[in-house]
A and B are shown apart, each in its own frame.
Chain A
């Protein structure tokens, strides 16, 4: 009897201790649930993109009137060209935006932040990141405490691989974000913080924060539909990185519901569908994306899907198209990294791929460029350089399957079985279907280790 009572007591103690141990998770779950419950519901969608050409025609006319000292019309027109570029991907709109921003700055050189912001955005779209950084810093000379400018500067820092500089801003914004009166005000800052967390090995935290960003970003009726869809697109991108493939597909479809024919959402859909070997869905999404912007990445998905579906002739034609893009459609070199990835992954023009990746390094030295160069070097037989570049790409231990897989293959080449096993397993742990071919290869290599 006494033994039974003792057993009951021990059970109670064990349950209590278990509850104590589980307390942090309970609190965390409650906080997450409370935050989710407090999130705003999406506003109805305003199909502003249908009026884009008409709006631009109006402002083009205003610019042509050459009102004396008119800095507003060209800067407004510049912003509209940039928005149309985000919607349709015509790089000519970026060039036009740059011209109009400069016209606005001729009318008002000092304190013309809207024109300088537009100019900076155009330079980012053209991958002229260092110039964009200079423009942003110039704005900060006459308005040093503007959080919006600090966010822009840190965003460019991330593109350039200046993670230490970005961290200073991110830390500052994180503090301010916690005390902000209105959650919708922190959307730009939180978007930056999410990107930083994603790149520096905190994917789960990034996803959790971005859920809130997406909710507030989609509560704005007057926001461009493309901008609202972008939040869902990013949600899907983060979900795929975390191996939540169903959520990724659902997010991209949500993006397309908000902004039909969104090339970025279709690009991500193609990436996920190809990774899942859903070849027809992949082909459909890739074609839809390429119909808007024929970037090498989506054309690459087309090639993979066409080959998998047995249409070798179509695959060869699409492959030719990618080379055409390199020759005549890449004058601004904004597709350099994508071309290098395609060639490296498909075993084509490996010398070119390496040279292109090296050229990209002069433009930006971020982790993805280092990884692209690592893989291009490896595929071109330059394994020593591949090892150095891969280590640089993973200096923040980014939770990205592809980066981990590349590092694993490079380690395996050098006989470093421990690191290879760790990286290949890491890639599959993040997403067991992270790539149409490399995921299976990672499994095979891991099994052989």
Chain B
């Protein structure tokens, strides 16, 4: 896995998670679920990074936890049947003091295709190169899919399926803002056929009445419904909310339970603070994550 690979960007930086001071982290809310043309239509949808989190370890104040969720929209009951794409390199990129470029990276590579996948962590270390084409830095250890492991250097790691923590009412969102015509975008740069149809749902200005979906005719954008369920309703087995992504609360127990919501694959790494600060002039870090393919796609 140390072999030099020609690596080009597949997905650009998807989320900037921790913006300011590491130790006074403010929550950044946002998520990506195949929200761009390339990630929704071109290979590789499994390269999609939904969310990146950085926070102090709840169990050890001397450690910092990094989490990256990828490969979204894994149906309920299939969490443990979805595996990491072994053709990709996953990275946390860290910049000390300045917002860029990265001066430290933690990378993950995967071998195998099923439940016996082995994940190898590289770094934390200075990157061999900055920017979008990267090679692996020195190995810090390997571990098995879906198994929490402590590496020899004191880093704790996990890579495997987890219930998607992201939730919102998608169809209520569509009533006032969502771009329901997402499928008609023909390229990453194409804003869609807004001149020929409704740019926003619930706003059918200029569009023949016959084109307006029944949903738009009856929806009241001023009062998003959340599908009629009160805030706090939990998706999951036995819930009237069912298993759709647009729940009003995080789905529960969805790894093997068909009745839940969606899953993601997660990389979670708990790192001693000293590894992030020793040798750097600033203890303020900026973190983002990338996925890279070896095909340049």
Contact = CB atoms under 8 A, between A and B. Distances in A.
Contacts, number: 141
A54 B77 contact: yes
Interface string B53-85: 000000000000000000000011110010101
A213 B212 CA distance: 40
Interface in B76-96: 76-78, 81, 83, 85-88
Interface stretch (A56-64, A349-357, A378-386): A56-64
Nearest to A40: B295
B45 interface: yes
Nearest to A51: B81
Contact of B212 (A44, A72, A110): A110
A340 B78 CA distance: 45
Nearest to B180: A108
Contacts of A45: 113
- Most A CB contacts (10 A, CB to CB) among B210, B214, B246 go to B214
A185 B37 CA distance: 13
B34 to A, nearest CB: 11
A114 B179 CA distance: 13
B171 A68 contact: yes
A57 to B, nearest CB: 6
B183 A51 contact: no
Given A108-B180, A219-B295, A184 B215 contact: no
Nearest to A111: B181
B222 interface: no
B174 interface: yes
Interface in A147-168: 147-148
Interface in B187-215: 193, 196-198, 207, 210-215
A220 B43 contact: yes
A150 to B, nearest CB: 10
A192 interface: no
Contact of A65 (B88, B198, B244): B244
Contacts of A106: 214
Contact of B186 (A61, A111, A148, A184): A148
B175 A54 contact: no
Given A61-B243, A110-B211, A146 B198 contact: no
Interface string A64-85: 0101111111000000000000
Interface in A84-131: 106-114, 117
A317 interface: no
B42 interface: yes
Nearest to B76: A58
Measured as residues with beta carbon below 8 angstroms from the partner, the interface class of chain B is: 35 or more
B238 interface: no
A51 to B, nearest CB: 5
B215 A221 contact: no
B44 A221 contact: yes
B46 interface: yes
Interface string A38-51: 00100111110011
B22 interface: no
Given A110-B212, A143-B184, A184-B297, A65 B197 contact: no
Nearest to A187: B43
Given A58-B78, A69-B215, A182-B297, A110 B197 contact: yes
A145 interface: yes
B272 interface: no
Interface in B220-259: 225, 227, 242-244, 246, 258-259
A263 B94 CA distance: 50
Nearest to A181: B296
A143 B112 CA distance: 41
B198 A111 contact: yes
B198 A107 contact: no
A70 B213 contact: no
A55 B242 CA distance: 15
B296 A143 contact: no
A67 B113 contact: no
Contacts of B216: 69
B14 interface: no
B219 interface: yes
Contacts of A72: 170
Given A185-B42, A222-B44, A112 B183 contact: yes
B186 A146 contact: yes
B113 A69 contact: no
A419 interface: no
Contacts of B87: 43-44, 219, 221
Nearest to A57: B258
Given A46-B83, A55-B78, 6 more contacts: A44-B86, A44-B112, A62-B244, A69-B175, A110-B213, A111-B183
Ranked 4 nearest A-B pairs via Cβ: A69-B215, A111-B181, A58-B75, A110-B211
